[in-house]
């Protein structure tokens, strides 16, 4: 991993761009409020609504693809660039619990901390979140794409909920993002091993 970059110095790095002005994108940063599994604002006054420009370009493509498929629909962003210092707080909370599988070990670096991952959902033309079967940061098997077929067969995931997940996933993958097996809301803009080897982590 290359040298880190301090969050406070990001203005000196034009490759990290704000995403709050992207068409078809609305911010709902959960770690910048108490509406998260920790129950407190982890970002304080610094709300890093940014991504690396490569990820931001793909996010814009995904939003355009969503609008093409469903006029008036938007992407609602739960988290984007997450500084390493915040990742350590999350890890310290879950590291000795079964939920540790959902949080990247900061020793390796979350892809969020490189500005190359985004957590998000879809909202309709009235600004209502589509029903995905669980909320954001749900630490159960129901939230995991790898269990969707079984959950659908068991009646725990409805056809409409699965269709909503697939709408999000298809738009993101069309734009070049990669889904993961454990969280329906999380997408990465590049192979995680490549990111860790070639990009700088934001602290």
Q: Is 112 annotated as a binding residue?
A: yes
Residue 190 annotated to the active site: no
90 within 8 A of 103, measured Cβ to Cβ: yes
- Which tokens in the block code for residue 63? 């939003």
Q: What is the pLDDT along the chain (203 residues), one digit of tens a residue?
A: 458 999 889 999 999 999 999 999 999 999 888 888 878 888 887 666 999 999 999 999 999 999 999 999 999 999 999 898 888 877 777 677 777 666 666 777 789 999 999 999 999 999 999 999 999 989 899 999 999 999 999 999 999 999 999 999 999 999 999 999 999 999 999 999 999 999 999 99
Give the pTM: 0.92
Which is the catalytic residue, given 183, 188, 190, 203?
183
Residues in the chain: 203
Which of 117, 45, 52, 55 has the alpha carbon at shortest distance from 80? 117
Q: Is 186 annotated as a binding residue?
A: yes
Query: Class for domain 7-198, per CATH?
Result: alpha beta
As a whole number of angstroms, the distance between CA 92 and CA 113 comes to 16
Residue with tokens 């889904």: 179
Q: Is 119 annotated as a binding residue?
A: yes
Helical H segments across 15-158, by residue range: 53-69, 84-94, 148-153
């Amino acid at each position: 991993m290359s040298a880190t970059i301090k969050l406070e110095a990001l203005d000196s790095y034009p490759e990290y761009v704000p995403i709050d002005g992207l068409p078809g994108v609305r911010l709902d940063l959960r770690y910048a409020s108490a509406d998260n599994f920790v129950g407190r604002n982890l970002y304080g006054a610094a709300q890093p609504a940014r991504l690396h420009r490569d990820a931001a370009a793909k996010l814009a493509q995904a939003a355009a693809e969503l609008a093409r498929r469903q006029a008036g629909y938007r992407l609602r962003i739960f988290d984007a660039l997450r500084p390493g210092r915040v990742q350590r707080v999350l890890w310290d909370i879950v590291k000795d619990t079964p939920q540790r599988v959902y949080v990247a070990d900061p020793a390796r670096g979350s892809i969020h901390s490189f500005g190359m991952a985004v957590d998000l959902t879809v909202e309709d033309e009235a600004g209502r979140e589509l029903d995905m079967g669980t909320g954001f940061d749900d630490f159960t098997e129901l939230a995991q794409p790898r269990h969707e077929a079984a959950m659908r067969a068991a009646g725990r995931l409805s056809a409409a909920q699965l269709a909503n997940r697939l709408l999000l996933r298809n738009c993101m993958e069309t734009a070049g993002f990669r889904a993961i097996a454990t969280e329906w809301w999380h997408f990465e803009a590049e192979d995680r091993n490549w990111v860790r080897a070639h990009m700088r982590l934001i602290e």
